[in-house]
């Protein structure tokens, strides 16, 4: 039975999160599967948000994290939860958990976060914009989900491609690539419909215990390890996602979890605008200059050193590419075609004049590093 929806009580044998906060991932064993509280596949929505979309979300500007925490705390007994592991490519995998762990899952993910907000609110806790703050005490941060591309992609896959998400038990050999775990919570809205929020935490797959090389101490002696994989669940607050808001409890862990570097992104976006204003560029379907520059720190650093307004115009750049015999493509309108990040790298290298033909041997070179020489003084030694 393909039942991944968890409605308060979850029963299965795919994933067990033990009461001492250790998760064990085991392979499917349909002969022993407990289906007492399972929901028929036909009763599952095509995506988890079919009912969630009925609720009215607060606009990001008016979102009140303290109101949200109190609302969730009031509804905690009516909250349902699902777990997803996700890898370094932000591909989610569905995982189940033992019926005995429902309270533990809610406590570790939901109640730790809401309890912290409620408790610390009386002690001066503030919620500030992530982009305008850095490292203050008694502060949690907020940014828009649309700013954090990887988090937005992950949520989109869970909400809109739910039925295409594989079970982790079918990919247990890829566990070493797992980057984090995200819990999806749903609860009834005050005005009907269903409300949804997510809690995400980073996990270290390298720290997991593997069945083939681990023993467990049971009573007075060692026994074979009973699970494929076991890991300790993080008990700290890291990231919550509520509607279009990302709530950041731990700045460093948030940035590592979703590889989000705001300062680099701001620089990249500014340079992308300068390039788009000066040069006619044509991108392959689905690509944008901003998207290609994301996480390309060497390219962004190189662009940062350039004064785009003072760089060579488009026609000279194309002539330079032809002189260097580079495959820089243009369309009928004269726009430079960018098909992938390699084309973008070539374009930026051309802007930086990083291609060179040696006058000695006639060979072409790509210059990885260069230093501008000062103006010569006096006459050359040989006149």
Q: What is the pLDDT of residues 146-172, one digit of tens each?
A: 989 899 999 999 999 999 999 987 877
Q: Residue with structure tokens 């190189």?
A: 302
Q: Encoding tokens for residue 27?
A: 């392979």
pLDDT in tens, 245-265: 999 999 999 999 998 877 777
Which has the minimum average pLDDT: 66-75, 231-240, 329-338? 231-240
Q: Enumerate the domain spans of the chain.
A: 15-259, 264-366
> Measured at the alpha carbon of residue 71, what is the angle toward residues 111 and 100, in degrees to the nearest 5?
35
Question: Taking residues 171-189, what's their average pLDDT?
Answer: 88
Contact present, 318 and 333 (Cβ < 8 Å): no
DSSP state of 190: T
Mean predicted confidence (pLDDT) in 187-207 = 87
Does residue 20 carry a pLDDT above 60? no
Separation CA 27–CA 307 (nearest Å) = 57
Whose CA is closest to 188, among 96, 78, 347? 78
What is the pLDDT of the chain when averaged over all its residues?
81
225: pLDDT confidence band, cut at 50, 70 and 90?
Answer: low
Left, alpha or beta for 192 (phi > 0: left; psi -120 to 50: alpha)?
left
pLDDT higher than 70, residue 266: yes
Model confidence pLDDT, tens digit, residues 40-83: 333 334 444 443 333 333 334 578 999 999 999 999 999 999 99
**What is the C-alpha separation between 10 and 33, in angstroms, rounded?**
12
Question: What pLDDT sits at residue 25?
Answer: 41
Q: Positive or negative CA dihedral for 174, 80, 244, 134?
A: negative
What's 294's DSSP letter? Answer: T
Predicted confidence at residue 248, as pLDDT, reads 95
pLDDT value at residue 57: 35
Residue with more model confidence, 326 or 379: 326
Mean pLDDT of 224-229: 69
Question: By C-alpha distance, which of 151, 203, 157 is closest to 180?
Answer: 203
Pairwise CA distance, residues 313 & 351, whole Å: 9
CA atoms in the 13 A half-sphere facing the CB of 253: 20
Tell me if 183 sits within 8 A of 198, measured CB to CB.
yes
Asked whether the whole model's pTM tops 0.95, one would answer no
**What percentage of the chain carries pLDDT values higher than 90?**
49
Looking at per-residue confidence, does 36 or 279 come out higher? 279
Percent of the chain residues topping a pLDDT of 70: 79
**CB contact set of 56 (below 8 Å; sequence gap of 6+):** 189, 191, 193
pLDDT attached to residue 298: 86
How many Cα atoms sit within 13 Å of 328 on the Cβ side? 26
Q: What is the tens place of the pLDDT at every residue in 75-123?
A: 999 999 999 999 999 999 999 888 888 899 999 999 999 999 999 999 9
């Amino acid at each position: 039975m393909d039942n991944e929806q968890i409605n308060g009580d979850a029963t299965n044998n795919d994933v067990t999160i033990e009461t001492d906060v250790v998760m064990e991932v085991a392979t499917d064993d349909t002969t022993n599967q407990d289906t007492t509280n399972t929901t028929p596949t036909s009763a599952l929505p095509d995506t988890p948000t079919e009912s969630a979309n009925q609720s009215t979300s607060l606009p990001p500007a008016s979102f009140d994290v303290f109101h949200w925490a109190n609302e969730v705390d009031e509804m905690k007994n009516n909250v349902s939860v699902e777990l997803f592991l996700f890898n370094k490519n932000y591909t989610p995998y569905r995982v189940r958990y033992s019926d005995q762990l429902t309270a533990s899952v809610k406590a570790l993910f939901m109640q730790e976060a809401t309890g912290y907000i409620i408790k610390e609110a009386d002690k001066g806790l503030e919620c500030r914009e992530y982009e305008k703050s850095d490292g203050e005490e008694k502060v949690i941060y907020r940014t828009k989900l649309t700013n954090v591309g990887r988090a937005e992609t992950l949520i989109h896959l869970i909400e809109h491609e739910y039925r295409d998400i594989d079970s982790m038990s079918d990919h247990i050999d890829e566990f070493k690539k797992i980057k984090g775990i995200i819990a999806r919570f749903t609860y009834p809205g005050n005005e009907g419909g269903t409300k949804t929020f997510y809690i995400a935490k980073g996990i270290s797959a390298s720290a997991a215990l593997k069945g083939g090389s681990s023993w467990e101490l049971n009573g007075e002696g060692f026994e074979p390890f009973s699970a494929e994989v076991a890991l300790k669940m993080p008990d700290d607050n890291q990231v919550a996602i509520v509607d279009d808001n990302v709530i950041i409890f731990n700045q460093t862990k948030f940035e590592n979890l979703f590889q989000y570097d705001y300062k680099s992104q701001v620089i990249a976006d500014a340079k992308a605008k300068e390039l788009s204003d000066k040069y006619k560029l044509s991108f392959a379907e689905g690509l944008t200059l901003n998207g290609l520059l994301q996480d390309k720190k060497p390219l962004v650093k190189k662009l940062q050193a350039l004064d785009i307004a003072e760089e060579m115009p488009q026609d000279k750049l194309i002539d330079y590419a032809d002189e260097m015999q580079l495959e820089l493509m243009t369309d009928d309108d004269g726009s430079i075609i960018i098909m992938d990040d390699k084309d973008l790298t070539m374009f930026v290298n051309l802007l930086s004049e990083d291609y060179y033909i040696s006058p000695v041997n006639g060979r072409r070179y790509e210059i990885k590093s260069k230093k501008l020489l000062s103006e010569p003084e006096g006459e050359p030694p040989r006149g």
